[in-house]
Amino acid sequence: MKVEGKVLTMPLKGILWLSFYFVLILLPLGVAAVWPGAAAGRPYLMQFGVACGFVAFTIFGFEFSLISKMHSVASAFGMDALLRFHRWMGIWATVLVLVHAAALLANGFPLDWVNPLSPDTTWAMRWGLIAVIALLLLVILSLARKQLRIAYEWWQWSHSILAKLLVLGALAHLVMFGGFSSEKPMRILLAAYSAFIFGISIYFQILKPIRMWSRPWEVVENHKDSADTHTLWLKPIHHEGFVFSPGQFAWLSSGKTPFHKDRHPISMSSPASSELSRAIGFTIKDLGDWSGKIVPKIEVGSKVWVDGPYGVFTPDREQGPGYVLIGGGVGITPLYSMCQTFAERRDSRPVYFFYGSKNVESLRFRSELNELQGRMNLTMIYALESPAGEWGGETGYITAEMIKKHVPPEYASYQYFVCGPGPMMDSIEQILPKLGITRSKIHTERFVMV
Q: What is the Cα–Cα distance from 298 to 252, expressed in whole angstroms? A: 13
Question: Which amino acid makes up residue 381?
Answer: I
Report all structural domains of the chain as residue ranges with CATH numbers, in order of start: 2-211 (no CATH), 217-310 (2.40.30.10), 323-444 (3.40.50.80)
pLDDT score, position 274: 77
Q: What is the Cα–Cα distance from 213 to 258, expressed in whole angstroms? A: 6
Q: What is the chain's Cα-based Rg?
A: 25
Residue from 346, 270, 342 nearest 309 by CA: 270
Residue from 364, 357, 366 nearest 386 by CA: 357
Q: What is the Cα–Cα distance from 385 to 358, expressed in whole angstroms? A: 5
Residue from 133, 134, 131 nearest 175 by CA: 131
Inter-CA distances, 196 with 64, 200, 203, Å: 10, 6, 11
Helices 152-177 and 123-143 meet at what angle, rounded to 10?
Answer: 150
pLDDT score, position 36: 64
pLDDT score, position 4: 32
pLDDT score, position 69: 61
pLDDT score, position 41: 66
Inter-CA distances, 149 with 143, 284, 289, 361, 450, Å: 12, 21, 11, 28, 13
- From first to last of its 450 residues, the chain has per-residue pLDDT tens of 323 333 344 556 666 667 777 787 777 877 766 666 655 667 778 888 888 888 888 888 887 666 656 666 666 566 667 777 888 888 899 999 999 888 888 887 777 767 777 777 788 888 989 999 999 999 888 888 878 888 777 888 888 889 889 999 999 988 888 777 777 888 888 888 888 888 888 888 889 899 999 999 999 999 998 878 899 999 999 999 999 999 999 999 998 999 887 788 899 999 998 777 789 999 998 877 788 889 999 999 999 999 989 888 899 988 899 999 999 988 899 999 999 999 999 999 999 999 999 888 888 899 999 999 999 999 999 999 888 778 888 999 999 999 999 999 999 999 999 998 888 999 999 999 999 999 989 998 876 544
